[in-house]
Structure 1
Amino acid sequence: MVHIDPFDVSDEAIDYSKLIKEFGTQPISSIGNLPNIKHFRRGFVFSHRDFDVFLNAIKKGDKTSIITGINASGSLHFGHKWTMDLVIALQREFNLPVLLTISDDEAYVTGKVKSQEEALENSKLIAAQLLALGFNPNKTKILVHQKYTKIYNLAIKLSPRCTMNEIKAIYGFDMSRNPGQWFYPIIQAADILLPQELEGKHHVLVPIAIDQDPHLRLARDIAERAGYIKPATIHMKFLRGLKGGSKMSKSKPGSAIFLDEDPKKAVKLCMQALTGGQPTAEEQRRLGGDPDKSVVIEYLGAHFIDDDNEFKKLVDDYRSGKILDGETKQLLARHVESFLASFQPKVEEYKKDIDSYLMVD
């Protein structure tokens, strides 16, 4: 049985239609006229809560914004980039302000880093990487909890709006958890509701992977009780790990390509990625490959081939045996190496003055 929560995802194959029922969300297909963005066109976004309400607010000219976040356990990887690319596309499509929160405190209280100092250094790296991905600096705020400690005041303000029983029911915590972990869900709710606290009541969208949905459930409940508008959310499918499994993850060695990886080493990782091919080249030419099984095809479609017709041709050629696994791996490797070679110098430039981009008390 697949286990999914904000702190752990088991490595079995995921049936996303079952998750919609289990989490009580709505299929994204229930909404017509979705944004013309690759993530929607290709089914990378599969579920939502009130995304239709958010889109209607944009259509009416009501105030809207986006918030999403990341854990500060280390460098971003291509799985994170996948979600952030969607947020950037939405920001550009609708000219939306974006708040990016980096949870250095969560990394510390859950033991993902050894010290708060390490979490802060990771946060600064992540902030530079986020900006280098293409967020508009003039319409993007970045919040690191050690730098913007007012978030804790908001968490205290919100804490009477829920009970320990609710946290236990949503997260499954028991008394083996430390107090920081018990309080952290309220800090997450504060992150999600901060745009309305600072800018007044308005419609907020939170793009996330489905494992983070418990944070949204709690934040939506608290929002209703505290007089905010319930935040909407869209759920991304996980980007599978290099060798398969449920997701690319920092905690699963060998499953991820990190954005600070040496480009030459990244090429080698690409050549080790899972494919959907046959045991021999001759058999693959005759029988074709399975593009749904191939992580290589998945990565190419998620990150590098934006044109739908071009991607369809790649998939069809792979399925028919016209393209072999070695060719798809080499194509992915070239794209990854080129991306990292141009991306990493941008990160270094942002790191020089990163404190100027962070929210402060």
Structure 2
Amino acid sequence: MADDGQKRGEEGEQVVNPWEVTAKDGGKIDYDKLIEKFGCQLLDRFLVDRVERLTGRPAHVFLRRGVFFAHRDFNEVLDVYERGEKFYLYTGRGPSSEALHLGHLVPFMFTKYLQDAFKVPLVIQLTDDEKCMWKNLSVEESKRLARENAKDIIACGFDITRTFIFSDFNFVGGAFYENMVKVAKCVTFNKVVGIFGFTLEDHIGKISFPPVQAVPSFPSSFPHLFPGKDQLRCLIPCAIDQDPYFRMTRDVAPRIGYQKPALIESSFFPALQGETGKMSASDPNSAIYVTDSSKDIKNKVNRYAFSGGQDSIENHRKYGANLEVDIPVKYLSFFLEDDAELEQIKKEYGAGRMLTGEVKKRLIEVLSELVERHRKARAAVTDEMVDAFMAVRPLPNMFS
């Protein structure tokens, strides 16, 4: 585990941790440097091909196009699966806002694919306690937002016979808390400052939180799900800003008799205004929300989506678009399923034969369809369904 993993960083350097994502000098996040600094591995084409071979289905668009680009021991989880053994998935959400934006949906869309492809159980942690401490929300408001966010998560289509959703305020205790204490005893104050960049001004709630996010990585934290399966492997799909938590977890795991969790990590979904970090919930015009109407989406894309097109049609026809900075093309790379159509758009737009307005028009269609589909699915999620997903219960058919 690299102690220098996430200090606040030297002046002007990029900062990537669970609470702050800032590119160097206002530029783009350098993911190659992140891989080197964090000590994870690049997710290469060999692993993508292996996933397709083992699951018998095409790789998810996020795998094919490198959205999930880094990993820790993902190959070992595939080894386990190939031997006919099982693993489980763990992901989560910090519920700090009423509605999710598209960047929030990315890990859940991918986790849904993993659950379906590998037919494995999933635990989803809602860190309402974390947001209560970091966002200065009341306990009651944090718990309310957790349930609201659970509805959006359920709307992604998870299998209730393989999925357990829990909020920290409601679930922490028993075996889960025992594992938290075991982890906490292994991590010094100096270590946690080195990993997360905490300062003397941070209250002790923040400093004591990391074990809470660490221990869902251990199957013994869920005795109702995994009794007697303490060595079951865990795979965590998440954005790479969550890596510091799990570097700490992986360092501690063998010292307390557990397997290290494996990770598969994504890049950040860029803001409409450009690829300088991740979307901000504090700026509604930086993001497309799952509550946005088709009119909202059209307005946001046309007004705010940063274009790599030229400043005049004449220049655009002559020089073509800069695809490296064009946000509509980047968004289509996430959500346009058809590989051939995406390549055609990039070819025509990059050559200047397709105009910015045409690309934005196609993006508006794709996003409007995605958001409308999600809106309908969420409207069908009742409070009783939330209760059912969050009920502490065995999942007898979770591996079948």
Instruction: Calculate the TM-score normalised by the size of structure 2.
Output: 0.85
Residue 8 of structure 1: aligned partner? 20
Structure 1 CA distance for aligned equivalents of residues 198 and 391 of structure 2? 31
Structure 2 CA distance for aligned equivalents of residues 321 and 227 of structure 1? 59
What stretches of structure 2 of length at least 5 have no aligned partner? 1-12, 52-58, 394-400
How far does residue 105 in structure 1 lie from its aligned partner after superposition? 0.6
Structure 2 CA distance for aligned equivalents of residues 233 and 91 of structure 1? 15
Stretch of structure 1 that moved more, 319-328 or 350-359:
350-359
How far does residue 195 in structure 1 lie from its aligned partner after superposition? 6.2
Structure 2 CA distance for aligned equivalents of residues 118 and 55 of structure 1? 40
| Secondary structure in 2 matching 1:136 | coil
Residue 5 of structure 2: aligned partner? none
1:175 lines up with 2:200 in the alignment: yes
Stretch of structure 1 that moved more, 226-235 or 249-258:
249-258
| Correspondent of 2:112 among 55, 79, 88 | 88
Structure 2 CA distance for aligned equivalents of residues 106 and 311 of structure 1? 39
- Give the AA of the match of 1:19: L
1:49 lines up with 2:72 in the alignment: yes
Stretch of structure 1 that moved more, 128-137 or 282-291:
282-291
Stretch of structure 1 that moved more, 114-123 or 190-199:
190-199
How far does residue 137 in structure 1 lie from its aligned partner after superposition? 2.0
Contact 1:249 1:255 (8 Å CA) reproduced: yes
- Give the AA of the match of 1:139: R
How far does residue 346 in structure 1 lie from its aligned partner after superposition? 1.9
Structure 1 CA distance for aligned equivalents of residues 312 and 337 of structure 2? 30
How far does residue 90 in structure 1 lie from its aligned partner after superposition? 1.2
| Secondary structure in 2 matching 1:137 | coil
Contact 1:206 1:233 (8 Å CA) reproduced: yes
Contact 2:210 2:245 (8 Å CA) reproduced: yes
Residue 397 of structure 2: aligned partner? none
How far does residue 113 in structure 1 lie from its aligned partner after superposition? 4.7
Residue 353 of structure 2: aligned partner? 322
Structure 2 CA distance for aligned equivalents of residues 181 and 175 of structure 1? 11
How far does residue 57 in structure 1 lie from its aligned partner after superposition? 0.8
How far does residue 123 in structure 1 lie from its aligned partner after superposition? 0.9
Which string of whole-angstrom CA distances, capped at 9 and with x for unpartnered residues, describes residues 57-115 of structure 1?
Answer: 111111211101111101221112122221111111111211111110110111x2521
Which string of whole-angstrom CA distances, capped at 9 and with x for unpartnered residues, describes residues 249-307 of structure 1?
Answer: 3245532112223342122112121111011123212321122211111111202x212
Indicate the RMSD between aligned Cα atoms, in angstroms. 1.9
Q: What is the aligned residue count?
A: 359
Residue 247 of structure 2: aligned partner? 217
| Correspondent of 1:234 among 264, 269, 273 | 264
- Relative distance call for 1:220 and 1:197 in structure 2 (3 A) is farther
| Superposition map of 1:1-361 within 5 A | 1-11=13-23, 12-29=27-44, 31-32=46-47, 33-35=49-51, 36-74=59-97, 75-110=99-134, 112-150=135-173, 151-194=176-219, 197-198=222-223, 199=226, 200=229, 201-244=231-274, 245-271=276-302, 272-303=304-335, 305-353=336-384, 354-360=386-392
| Secondary structure in 2 matching 1:83 | helix
- Relative distance call for 1:290 and 1:195 in structure 2 (3 A) is farther
Structure 2 CA distance for aligned equivalents of residues 359 and 227 of structure 1? 28
Structure 2 CA distance for aligned equivalents of residues 189 and 13 of structure 1? 29
Instruction: Calculate the TM-score normalised by the size of structure 1.
Output: 0.93
How far does residue 54 in structure 1 lie from its aligned partner after superposition? 0.8
| Secondary structure in 2 matching 1:141 | strand
Structure 2 CA distance for aligned equivalents of residues 263 and 117 of structure 1? 32
Contact 1:206 1:234 (8 Å CA) reproduced: yes
State, as a whole percentage, how many aligned pairs show the same letter: 30
What stretches of structure 1 of length at least 5 have no aligned partner? none
Stretch of structure 1 that moved more, 164-173 or 22-31:
22-31
- Give the AA of the match of 1:24: G
How far does residue 157 in structure 1 lie from its aligned partner after superposition? 4.0
